[in-house]
Amino acid sequence: VPDADPRRAVAPIRWDGRRLRVLDQTRLPDAETWLELTGADDTAAAIRRLAVRGAPNIGIAAAYGLALEVTAQPGLGALERGAETLRAARPTAVNLAWAVDRVVAAGLAASPATLASTCRATAQQIQAEEDAAAAAIAGHGRELLDGARRVLTHCNAGALACGGAGTALAVALALPDVEVLACETRPLLQGARLTAWELDRLGVPFHVLADGAAAGLMRRGEVDAVVVGCDRVAANGDVANKVGTYAHALAARAAGIPFVVAGPTSTIDLATPAGDDIVIEERDGREVSERWPARNPAFDITPAGLVTALVTERGTASPVTPDAVAALAAP
């Protein structure tokens, strides 16, 4: 399923009304390989091994995976079992459970004859909403960061991770004459492999940066703003995002530059009071070192007090207080 115009944001989750294809992100930037997913088990496996990744996109893929599961085996048993498998695929990004719960609720409200079609329609609705949210986030972020040109980002919060052109990366792309510093993002190199691949395709100037180099460049005045995505925002405004994000927030505070978090309201979880209540995914240590015993927490928590602004499709919270977060997330 190649893209006709390589300058357009890539669409890594493609649904043609019957079949689900996803771009295998483990193979990028070396190969553009598409996988066909057929139900809950293979979709959950693709999410676990990061073939599909990024908070909004694991929600979208899981919604389609569940819809395909009940298309193949119509019935509430398949709906419940498939939902459980998909929810368990990764713990930190709330978008996964949020999207699965939404498909389950729609399925439970449907008649047996319309169960599968209702689930498919709900998945499509979720994807359309995330695409629209990404566009709105880019607009709000552009207003907020007017005048910023040298933007540092971590991980990948572009089209590969989110709806539309992405969230944090779409904010950067909306700034005139932007130059992006893409932090490598150890250990799985979502920045060096994926953000770099997206920026190269789009023809946007960028440099890849070792994660440990970021603080020094901020201190030397070479960064105007840091913009990152998020996997879960707690009710108090604490943010879970890819491991390494917290260090960038500390460095940005020390350098006196804005640290902005961008994400759709589907990433806000009012049921989780604070960052310490968020489950941090621990991945296989061999992703860090094949030779030595290694710890591999995949995310960290940035306290709300270090976040200059939280940019969502509904607007911006700044400062990031519990009231401001609740107002953004209100139904």
| CB 69 to ligand MRU: min, Å | 22
Which part of the chain contacts ligand MRU (CB under 6 A), choosing from 1-9, 53-61, 98-106, 219-227?
53-61
Question: Quick check: 162 binds ligand MRU (CB under 6 A)?
Answer: yes
| CB 20 to ligand MRU: min, Å | 18
Question: What tokens does 8 get?
Answer: 């357009």
DSSP string for 258-294 = -EEEE--GGGEETTS-SGGGSPPPB--GGGT-SSS--
**16 Cβ partners below 8 Å, 6+ apart?**
none
For ligand MRU, the binding residues in 77-96 under the rule CB under 6 A are 93
Question: Quick check: 317 binds ligand MRU (CB under 6 A)?
Answer: no
**Known catalytic residue: 231?**
yes
Place of tokens 């400062």: 319
Instruction: Name which position in 190, 265, 308, 316 contacts ligand MRU (CB under 6 A).
Output: 190
Find the helix or strand (DSSP H, E) in which 311 lies: strand 309-312
Indicate the residue among 68 and 162 with the shorter CB distance to ligand MRU: 162
For residue 301, which of 213, 210, 254, 231 has the smallest C-alpha distance?
A: 231
Does the N-terminal peptide bond of residue 303 adopt cis geometry, omega within 30 degrees of 0? no
Indicate the residue among 57 and 118 with the shorter CB distance to ligand MRU: 57
Indicate the residue among 160 and 175 with the shorter CB distance to ligand MRU: 160
For residue 230, which of 129, 172, 301, 182 has the smallest C-alpha distance?
A: 301
Instruction: Name which position in 229, 237, 275, 303 contacts ligand MRU (CB under 6 A).
Output: 229
C-beta of residue 317 within 8 angstroms of C-beta of residue 237: yes
Q: From the candidates 24, 41, 231, 269, give the one annotated as an active-site residue.
A: 231
C-beta of residue 96 within 8 angstroms of C-beta of residue 87: yes
For ligand MRU, the binding residues in 142-161 under the rule CB under 6 A are 155, 157, 161
Phi then psi for 93, rounded to 5 degrees?
-70, 120
Instruction: Name which position in 242, 252, 308, 324 contacts ligand MRU (CB under 6 A).
Output: 242
For ligand MRU, the binding residues in 33-52 under the rule CB under 6 A are 50
Question: Quick check: 312 binds ligand MRU (CB under 6 A)?
Answer: no
C-beta of residue 201 within 8 angstroms of C-beta of residue 232: no
* Contact set with ligand MRU (CB under 6 A): 50, 53-56, 93, 155, 157, 161-162, 167, 190, 229-231, 241-242, 263, 298
Point out the residues that are catalytic.
231
